[in-house]
Structure 1
Amino acid sequence: MSYVQEVFETVKKRNPGEAEFHQAVEEVLESLAPVIERHPEYAETGLLERIVEPERQILFRVPWEDDQGKIHVNRGFRVQFNSAIGPYKGGLRFHPSVNLGIIKFLGFEQIFKNSLTGLPIGGGKGGSDFDPKGKSDREVMRFCQSFMHELSHHIGPDIDVPAGDIGVGGREIGFLYGQYKRIKNATEAGVLTGKGIPYGGSLARTEATGYGLVYFLKEMLEDHGHELAGKTVLISGSGNVSIYACQKCQAYGAKVVAMSDSNGYIYDKNGIDLKVIQQLKEVERKRIKEYLNYHPEAEYSENYRGIWNIKCDIALPCATQNEINDKEAATLIENGVMAVAEGANMPSTSEAIKLYQDHKILFGPAKAANAGGVATSALEMCQNSMRLAWSFEEVDQKLHGIMVNIYRSIKDAAKEYGMEGNYVAGANIAGFQKVAASMMAHGIY
């Protein structure tokens, strides 16, 4: 058994029942086999054994009171995975599906995604099995205050900098930051990113993940002689990433015909009316089926995964992990898809990715294609450190440059190790190299 296989078998044995974490580790380790062959010192110093084990895992109780006076208890998580190149950086996810294995998978992915940005940020992730849907603002506030009461002991501008993720938007970040200030008796704006503009947030942060995804997609397409303009696009999800990916695709002349939520998907052959989606999701917090009230000519289906049956040129999965399996990938390929770029974290199963690669579909893996959000979070940290604010245009320009550089770095890394065109391997290798060099320089700890 090879060194890489031994490490993976150990991961499975020590982390039973954590399928998403196993999936993420396996994908990375498979890509790193040729790197380990070229650098035997990594095996000699147990570098892979260290990189797959979080530096710290924090699990805590979060009691809170609802508007009827009933007490609820949720679990809070923070996994501080790797700080070799900078403070831990990664979002908080509030969703009933959250468990330790999912947080570890997200934190592990974050190590390499953050490295790819070229900015000094390590990898971490956190969250809770709390569901903000259907809760009043006061209930969400009370939960966030209880959550931050414990989390505040483990974070700081130079230690660990959380941000938002699924279920954690501007409202939640505001409540979390207010409680942090209250506990610390200090204005440490750099402790959280995704903040509101009036109290230290960055312009373009809201748009960053969706915009960055499309900047990456456009660079990948043009590098292979294609244009984004005129292409038909499917985008799963209807949250922050999906909305701004749609906006940027439309700005570049592409036609987005379908979007979804956890209940179903909407198909509008005339092109999605993004203002309606924004009104429903960002203002009214309603289900996507309400789109029909504005555009009765559109079609709605309750099976949200059915979105991948629609014929398209480009698919942008922006909802959640493992939303495209091998069957759905085969359908996309049969219907003529030419490119897939991931806006969500690990939305394609390993079997789906293999099909993309076997059929020469251009594929932008999540840790590269959706890195724009965390890159702009790091730019927010920079602005907080310098006590200044950049314009929207300045931040957007920096974001565009980062995404172009990410594409070029993963392309070059794949080519260097004899896997030209394999951007999964390229992303894993390029992200790993910087972290590995830093870990080697720091000694064994």
Structure 2
Amino acid sequence: MKALMSKTAGSIVEAALKRDPHELEFKQSVQEVVHALERVIAKNSHYVNIMERLLEPERMIVFRVPWVDDRGETHVSRGFRVQFNQALGPCRGGIRFHPLMNLSIAKFLGFEQTLKNALSPYKLGGAAGGSDFDPKGKSDNEIMRFCQSFMNEIYRYLGPDKDLPSEEMGVGTREMGYLFGQYRRLAGHFQGSFTGPRIFWSGSSLRTEATGYGLVFFAQLILADMNKELKGLRCAVSGSGKIAMHVLEKLIAYGAVPITVSDSKGYLVDEDGFDYMKITFLRDIKAQQRSLRDYSKTYARSKYYDEAKPWSERCDVAFPCASQNEIDQSDAINLVNSGCRILVEGSNMPCIPEAVDVLRKANVLIAPAMAAGAGGVVAGELELNHECNLMHWSPEDFESKLQEAMKQTYQRALKAATDFGYQKESPEALVHGAVISAFLTIAQAMTDQGCV
């Protein structure tokens, strides 16, 4: 008994980090989560043991993905799937194809997804994965061959009652289609679909919209508590992928003024703000794999800045939707100086720890991806729930469902924060509250199920 009690939260985190010292993203994620749980662990030492098990994924699959390009040359990529925790139910989580993808990123994304799913209204486990394959500049046939090879290895670990992958960076409707097609051949049945497109019916998936829309709904909830609204607020958005585009769309619907988007080379600012027509134009540019720079040839009051980020533009609300650690300390200082009051995380862990410190000291309210990004989880589950097949849903029905789920998530996070003595208005209330609420849900399930 004595030996057990000698474990502290600190010693457990230290042991977890020592085990995999090179996994920087995972380490950062763990430290943020444990910091948010300090008061919970202080109240109940039993949680220390739960924490120890939670920090080690249930299953990590790393595998070779050989594929042949159009010239007949063979290439080898590396594939990952980390099924982090299934205490609450089958896994859900994204697949990312990106040249920088590695095990640390798969673990960090799986860990964050586990907490995000636990915070959502559904009982789900969390997973993440992908490959260091770069889909940019590849032909449809090359992508198809790669996806088929990827699925040949991973299919045995997937299924509606085990783990359903969803779209993430570098993986869209096309990739999900190829992955699902191969899964169906290998699994030998037509059960379920991957959360993403419903490949076997004509309606388009609402999942991709849901994450972006959910972020804007979440911002609305925060503002409503301050007796404010989005209308007229200048919003800086980073990224120009699926999530960023849907954020722009919904911001416009609410009368906000989204002024920026970005890509890996720089960012675009439009002083008049984007409108629906401009978004359509941006989508065309992206679809043709052209540079965002081309936008400013058409719209005179816009400018593209090379090798820069949008955080020095005057704004009220920021929506980082590009990738992890996109906001460093100097970006955070720029955000504070540009008048930003609220930061809504569209990407997982967009701020480095030093940036978070800057934002908190300046009283910028942070809405964590874990809560604000729950829209995708909601849509994925609604799609799979056959009683409420989305075919019969109007967009209005779907949006009210999504708004309701985002509201529940917001309230759950705030309640957990206030239960543990955080002021509702404090800049870290939502961040800590989201982690606490998610952790307590998982901890209860892990306690009930014994030492698993």
Using the size of structure 1 for normalisation, the TM-score is 0.95
Report how far residue 387 of structure 1 moved.
6.6
Tell me, yes or no, if the aligned pair for 1:35 and 1:429 is still in contact at 8 Å. Answer: yes
| Corresponding residue of 2:333 | 330
Tell me, yes or no, if the aligned pair for 2:66 and 2:74 is still in contact at 8 Å. Answer: yes
Tell me, yes or no, if the aligned pair for 1:364 and 1:423 is still in contact at 8 Å. Answer: yes
| Corresponding residue of 1:42 | 47
Report how far residue 388 of structure 1 moved.
6.7
- Say which SS state the counterpart of residue 299 (structure 1) adopts: strand
Specify whether residues 255 and 219 from structure 1 end up closer, same or farther in structure 2 by C-alpha distance, changes over 3 A only: same
Report how far residue 225 of structure 1 moved.
1.9
Report how far residue 8 of structure 1 moved.
1.1
Once the two structures are superposed, residues 369-390 of structure 1 have per-residue CA deviations (whole angstroms, 9 ceiling, x without a partner) of 111112211222223x877734
Specify whether residues 3 and 433 from structure 1 end up closer, same or farther in structure 2 by C-alpha distance, changes over 3 A only: same
Q: Does 1:26 align with 2:28?
A: no
Specify whether residues 184 and 443 from structure 1 end up closer, same or farther in structure 2 by C-alpha distance, changes over 3 A only: same
| Corresponding residue of 1:431 | 438
Counterparts of 1:119 and 1:389, CA distance in 2: 21
Counterparts of 1:353 and 1:197, CA distance in 2: 40
List aligned pairs for 1:319-358, cutoff 5 A: 319-358=322-361
| Corresponding residue of 1:266 | 268
| Corresponding residue of 1:163 | 166
Q: Does 1:402 align with 2:396?
A: no
What are structure 1's unaligned runs of at least 5 residues? none
Aligned partner of 1:233 among 235, 246, 252: 235
Aligned partner of 1:291 among 292, 295, 299: 295
What are structure 2's unaligned runs of at least 5 residues? 1-5
Report how far residue 206 of structure 1 moved.
2.4
Amino acid at match of 1:400: Q
Counterparts of 1:116 and 1:286, CA distance in 2: 38
Counterparts of 2:44 and 2:273, CA distance in 1: 50
- Say which SS state the counterpart of residue 152 (structure 1) adopts: helix
Tell me, yes or no, if the aligned pair for 1:189 and 1:200 is still in contact at 8 Å. Answer: no
Report how far residue 37 of structure 1 moved.
2.3
Specify whether residues 77 and 203 from structure 1 end up closer, same or farther in structure 2 by C-alpha distance, changes over 3 A only: closer
Tell me, yes or no, if the aligned pair for 2:414 and 2:430 is still in contact at 8 Å. Answer: yes
Report how far residue 58 of structure 1 moved.
0.1
Mean Cα deviation higher: 124-133 or 422-431: 422-431
Once the two structures are superposed, residues 167-202 of structure 1 have per-residue CA deviations (whole angstroms, 9 ceiling, x without a partner) of 000000000000011112210124x11024644876
| Corresponding residue of 2:143 | 140
| Corresponding residue of 1:15 | 20
Report how far residue 230 of structure 1 moved.
0.4
Percent identical residues: 44
Amino acid at match of 1:255: V
Tell me, yes or no, if the aligned pair for 1:265 and 1:300 is still in contact at 8 Å. Answer: yes
Tell me, yes or no, if the aligned pair for 1:235 and 1:317 is still in contact at 8 Å. Answer: yes
List aligned pairs for 1:209-220, cutoff 5 A: 209-220=211-222
Aligned partner of 1:182 among 160, 182, 185: 185
Mean Cα deviation higher: 86-95 or 34-43: 34-43
- Say which SS state the counterpart of residue 438 (structure 2) adopts: helix
Aligned partner of 1:3 among 8, 14, 19: 8
| Corresponding residue of 2:208 | 206
Specify whether residues 53 and 390 from structure 1 end up closer, same or farther in structure 2 by C-alpha distance, changes over 3 A only: farther
Q: Does 1:75 align with 2:82?
A: no
| Corresponding residue of 2:3 | none
Tell me, yes or no, if the aligned pair for 1:116 and 1:406 is still in contact at 8 Å. Answer: yes
Once the two structures are superposed, residues 44-100 of structure 1 have per-residue CA deviations (whole angstroms, 9 ceiling, x without a partner) of xx2111000000000010000000000000000000000011111100000000000
Tell me, yes or no, if the aligned pair for 1:261 and 1:304 is still in contact at 8 Å. Answer: no
- Say which SS state the counterpart of residue 79 (structure 1) adopts: strand
Report how far residue 405 of structure 1 moved.
1.1
Mean Cα deviation higher: 138-147 or 347-356: 347-356
Counterparts of 1:200 and 1:39, CA distance in 2: 51
Tell me, yes or no, if the aligned pair for 1:276 and 1:294 is still in contact at 8 Å. Answer: no
Aligned partner of 1:91 among 89, 94, 98: 94
Counterparts of 1:163 and 1:111, CA distance in 2: 14
Amino acid at match of 1:110: Q
Report how far residue 276 of structure 1 moved.
1.2
- Say which SS state the counterpart of residue 125 (structure 1) adopts: strand
Specify whether residues 431 and 201 from structure 1 end up closer, same or farther in structure 2 by C-alpha distance, changes over 3 A only: farther
Tell me, yes or no, if the aligned pair for 2:218 and 2:406 is still in contact at 8 Å. Answer: yes
Counterparts of 1:155 and 1:319, CA distance in 2: 28
Counterparts of 1:390 and 1:28, CA distance in 2: 39
Report how far residue 213 of structure 1 moved.
0.3
Using the size of structure 2 for normalisation, the TM-score is 0.94
Tell me, yes or no, if the aligned pair for 1:202 and 1:390 is still in contact at 8 Å. Answer: no
Tell me, yes or no, if the aligned pair for 2:177 and 2:199 is still in contact at 8 Å. Answer: no
Mean Cα deviation higher: 346-355 or 127-136: 346-355
| Corresponding residue of 1:441 | 448
Counterparts of 2:273 and 2:153, CA distance in 1: 46
- Say which SS state the counterpart of residue 18 (structure 2) adopts: helix
Report how far residue 153 of structure 1 moved.
1.1
Once the two structures are superposed, residues 394-439 of structure 1 have per-residue CA deviations (whole angstroms, 9 ceiling, x without a partner) of 3222111111111111111111101123211111101111111011
Tell me, yes or no, if the aligned pair for 1:250 and 1:256 is still in contact at 8 Å. Answer: yes
Counterparts of 2:205 and 2:391, CA distance in 1: 8
| Corresponding residue of 2:249 | 247
| Corresponding residue of 2:281 | 276
| Corresponding residue of 1:318 | 321
Report how far residue 327 of structure 1 moved.
1.3
- Say which SS state the counterpart of residue 389 (structure 1) adopts: helix
